[in-house]
Chain A
Amino acid sequence: MSDSELAAAVALARARRNGLVAATGLPIAAMEREAEAAGRQLHVVVTADGEPVLVLGWSGSEPVASTQAPRLSRRRMTASMIKCLVVAWALLHDVGHPRSSVATEDVVRVLDRLTGRSSRTWAIPAVEDALPRVGLMESDRGRWRAGPAATTWDEQTREVMVGAVRRLHEHPGWREAAGG
């Protein structure tokens, strides 16, 4: 492997490991070629700070889990991550009161009110650690907004999220829980 190929490979590895990698100074064209040759796609995304970053996604749609041969087991997000992501998304895309960012307390309050139970112990780590770590949320001056990885979702994943958010908006307790 030549030095330039190795540089591209290491940069792609960093993008995978960290969820994203700052684009400045990287051999983006070479990285795109190498990613494509392996069934992946490199996305250029601008963060909340205005910094261009690279996110490693999939060419076309994501590999689909299968329980039949050839079997493919895919790692799932935890239930707490899914709940927090959907609530945060529903707040960000609330027709009655759209927001550019949400606070951790907003997500906790909605979860508490909708479920009637305290979510604090599991929701705060999910919002502030687990979701940012996989690039699905990113910090925006102490609040949270959609992360770079979310902008690379394929159409099927987007439809799933749109459906989940719609169901939450239609929940009889949504307006009171979301406030605004």
Chain B
Amino acid sequence: MADHIVDEMTVLETVRALEATDEPLSPREWSALEDRRLRETVNQRLARLGRQLIEVTSGAGGPVVGYLSGWSDQAASALQQDESDLAIEDLAVLSLVYLHITVLEGSFGEQVASFQEQLNAHQGPDGRDIISVDQLSESLRTLRARQLLDGRHRPGPALLRLSVAQRERLEENLVLLCRPDSTWASEIRAGRRPGRSLGGDP
């Protein structure tokens, strides 16, 4: 009985900390996160809030270095039907940053100049011209305020809160954006017919 009470207090304290924290919680310091059984209980409590426990790893497939909470896949599916408080220009800037930093630099190992430098050096018409200089500053400020970008205009800590399914979804969206006519993109669109838990575009 005493163990149960201790566990309940520990679970509640951990759930509250996960919902409040700005950085991943260390399992060495938050004992409930070190214990698989308690971790499952924490995740169940989070699910009641439309949230879920997110493992933060050291690199893709690396060891778990901490935990955060993020939207549950079911809640994310419902929330993405709501009107976003991000303008289409904000989303365009975020997509460009993600493409440059996470995909070109992170995944493909390309040496790329900073996002700001590339925009400043850009000449000639293409999709980026839809974002004016004033709008760009405003979008960067908005994205930083939501922690979608960090102070150096790189993908921000909010992206750590994506679940595996949400991250896969984001990567699929990049395929749809960059290779819309590919067989891969056709397969993705076919797989997104109604009935899947994460339907619709983010």
A residues with a Cβ closer than 8 A to B are 1, 5-6, 8-10, 12-14, 16-18, 34-35, 37-40, 56, 58, 62-63, 69-75, 78, 125, 130, 133
Contact = CB atoms under 8 A, between A and B. Distances in A.
A71 B74 CA distance: 30
A14 B79 contact: yes
Given A5-B48, A73-B22, 17 more contacts: A9-B74, A10-B74, A13-B49, A13-B75, A13-B79, A18-B82, A37-B48, A38-B12, A38-B19, A38-B46, A39-B12, A39-B19, A58-B16, A70-B30, A71-B29, A74-B21, A125-B141
B15 A38 contact: yes
Interface of B: 12-13, 15-17, 19-23, 25-26, 29-30, 45-51, 71-72, 74-75, 78-79, 82, 85, 141, 145, 147
A74 B21 CA distance: 5
Given A13-B78, A70-B25, A70-B29, A63 B72 contact: no
A10 B49 CA distance: 7
B29 A8 contact: no
Nearest to A8: B48
Given A1-B74, A39-B12, A133-B85, A12 B49 contact: yes
B134 to A, nearest CB: 12
A9 B49 contact: yes
Contact of A13 (B26, B50, B85): B50
A12 B21 CA distance: 18
B15 A72 contact: no
B20 A62 contact: yes
Contacts of B30: 70
Given A10-B78, A13-B75, A13-B78, A72 B49 contact: no
A40 B19 contact: yes
A40 B49 CA distance: 9
Contacts of A125: 141
26 contacts: A1-B47, A1-B74, A5-B48, A9-B72, A9-B74, A12-B49, A13-B51, A13-B72, A13-B75, A13-B79, A14-B50, A14-B78, A34-B48, A34-B49, A37-B45, A38-B49, A39-B16, A39-B19, A39-B45, A58-B16, A63-B17, A63-B19, A73-B22, A74-B21, A75-B22, A75-B147
A166 B25 CA distance: 36
Nearest to A12: B49
A12 B26 CA distance: 26
A84 B45 CA distance: 36
Please indicate which of the listed interface residues B45, B48, B75, B141 has the most CB atoms of chain A within 10 Å of its own CB.
Answer: B48
